[in-house]
Structure 1
């Protein structure tokens, strides 16, 4: 597992997507950030594998609407659960 050092804004964006999927516009309103800043952070978090698009569709205005959800890796090593063997 790779350690990622996120700044405060990236953490806010990530935390906001934990409870339910949200669009960049929703995150922009919730976090009081510009849409372009939110999109930049979402792209960064997606590259790190920390958020993923769970739904996308064309809106009425023809733009693609994407819903993002946190996709945090879970470390199960301390739970005594063995990883499945893949062949």
Structure 2
């Protein structure tokens, strides 16, 4: 599997979705980012095969609500904040 170089925000979002499925709105509040930036990160992570939608439904306002969950076929120990870089 090819190595992927993610920035700290992408790693944080990935780790948050590993703990439990989250919506973009929840991730936006957790990380203090705009919803559109969070969606951009989720789309990137989904494209890389690192997260997937596990639940979607129409909310009361008619918008689609999606829950994302990490889908990691790899060792995540090096994704933890402050982990030592590999030589």
- Whether TM-score is above 0.5 comes out as yes
Matches within 5 A, 1:27-46: 27-46=27-46
How far does residue 2 in structure 1 lie from its aligned partner after superposition?
1.6
Task: Give the alignment's TM-score, normalised by structure 1.
Answer: 0.83
Match of 2:6 in 1: 6
- What corresponds to 1:20 in structure 2? 20
Aligned positions, number: 75
The equivalent of 1:59 in structure 2 is 59
Q: 2:21 and 2:35 mapped to 1: Cα distance?
A: 16
TM-score (norm 2): 0.83
SS of the equivalent of 2:72 reads: coil
Structure 2 unmatched ranges of 5 or more: 76-87
Gaps of 5+ in 1: 76-87
CA RMSD of aligned residues (A): 1.0
